[in-house]
Each structure stands twice: as structure tokens, then as C-alpha cells.
């Protein structure tokens, strides 16, 4: 059984999808052993507690540099014998120290079809505001490996979601979560934990 560490910053809806996937058997090759929030008081920590999973705040603002924060994250995850790291609405940028500590073992869910509406500054509602402003008819979500480039790692899974007439950033955000993020993230996590993903450059192959 693979030990999973989940990094969060807010409400933890994607964390909830992972925990529900454990219960339903979709996620069967790994288990969430620790949840780390970059902010104190995040509701995601309450979700973890309800499942009997350790939840801890390691606030980004408590560290003067990104490097020091990375070191703190690595120290905690290593102490919990974490094998796979899942970013589930984690708003801090992962640095080289984390990437080196967990090579091809950190994944992130992004609320758009990368390479659209991704990179620095594209997070949360900003992504959906950009999609609506641009006038796209289709958006979606992407689960990808994490490297030193923001949203730049190899793509594992994507799913398209229609943009509907009269959508607001909030309604679009909800539809993308419900129709794509909550489905893709548990699937990708299981594939990684089960050893079914092979990365070659920017290409990911999935074993049957």
C-alpha cells in the first residue's frame, strides 16, 4: 500500500474526492496518511479529521523563503514515509527541493485543459474568469506531473467540460470540479500508486 500525502490550501473538495475514492475502492493501491495545509484553519483539515487522517498546517507565511518552506514540506512528508504527493488545490509553488525529493511522484489537478489558461497567476477562479473572457466553448481539467515549471509537467489525464450560456466563473468552476476534477484526480492517483504510469520526457504512457 502506497502512502499518499495531500497538500491543500482551502476547502478540500478534491481531498474529499480522494477520500471518497478510498471508500468506494476506486483508490485501492494507496491511502492518504497525511494532509498538509499551507494555511491555518483550512476546512480541508476538518475533512481529514472526519476520516481519521492526520491534518497539519504548515503555513507558507511562517517561512521567509520558498526554499525554507520546501524543506519544511519535505521534512514532514519524509517523516510520514510518504511515497506519492497529491496537490489538491495547493496554492503555493512547489520548488526544486520538493521535485527532487519526489521525482515523478508529485501530481497536481489544474482546472483547465493545459496548455490553455495555465502557469503563473492562473489558479482558482482566475482560470475560469480567463476562460470566459476568452470566449472558449470548451474547458476542462488536467492532472499532470509536477516539475520546476508551474503547470509544466507531463500530462496524465484530461477531460473536457462544456462552457454554457450564462456561465459565471463560479458556476463554471463548480461544473469543472464535478464533471472533471473529482473524477480525474482519484483515477490518476490510483494509476500512479499502482505503478501504471511511465514518464518519458513529456509523454506519459498508461499500462493496462
- List the catalytic residue out of 76, 110, 126, 144: 110
For the chain, how many residues are written? 208
Residues facing residue 79 across a β-bridge: none
Question: Which helix (DSSP H) or strand (DSSP E) does residue 173 occupy?
Answer: helix 169-176
Pairing label, strands 54-57, 30-37: parallel
144 is catalytic: no
Give Dmax (Cα) for the chain: 49
- 112 and 118 in contact (C-beta within 8 Å)? yes
3-state secondary structure 49-68: HHCCCEEEECCHHHCCCHHH
- 146 and 94 in contact (C-beta within 8 Å)? yes
Residue 93 DSSP one-character state: P
Q: Which residues contact 61 (CB under 8 A, 6 or more apart)?
A: none
Q: Which position has the grid cell 483508490?
A: 27
Pairing label, strands 155-162, 2-8: unpaired
- 199 and 104 in contact (C-beta within 8 Å)? yes
Active-site residue numbers? 110
Amino acid at each position: 500500500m502506497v502512502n499518499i500525502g495531500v497538500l491543500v490550501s482551502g476547502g478540500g473538495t478534491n481531498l474529499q474526492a480522494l477520500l471518497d475514492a478510498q471508500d468506494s475502492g476506486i483508490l485501492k493501491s494507496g491511502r492518504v496518511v497525511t494532509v498538509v495545509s499551507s494555511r491555518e484553519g483550512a476546512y480541508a483539515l476538518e475533512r481529514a479529521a472526519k476520516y481519521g487522517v492526520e491534518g497539519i498546517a504548515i503555513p507558507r507565511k511562517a517561512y521567509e523563503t520558498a526554499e525554507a518552506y520546501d524543506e519544511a514540506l519535505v521534512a514532514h512528508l519524509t517523516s510520514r514515509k510518504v511515497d506519492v504527493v497529491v496537490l489538491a488545490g495547493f496554492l503555493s509553488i512547489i520548488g526544486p527541493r520538493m521535485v527532487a525529493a519526489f521525482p515523478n511522484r508529485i501530481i497536481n489537478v489544474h482546472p483547465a485543459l493545459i496548455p490553455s489558461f495555465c502557469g503563473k497567476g492562473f489558479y482558482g477562479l482566475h482560470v475560469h474568469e480567463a476562460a470566459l473572457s476568452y470566449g472558449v466553448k470548451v474547458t476542462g481539467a488536467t492532472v499532470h506531473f509536477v516539475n520546476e515549471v508551474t503547470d509544466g509537467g507531463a500530462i496524465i489525464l484530461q477531460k473536457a467540460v462544456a462552457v454554457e450560456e450564462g456561465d459565471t466563473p463560479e458556476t463554471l468552476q463548480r461544473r469543472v470540479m464535478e464533471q472533471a476534477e473529482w473524477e480525474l484526480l482519484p483515477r490518476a492517483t490510483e494509476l500512479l500508486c499502482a505503478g501504471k504510469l511511465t514518464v518519458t520526457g513529456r509523454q506519459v504512457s498508461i499500462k493496462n
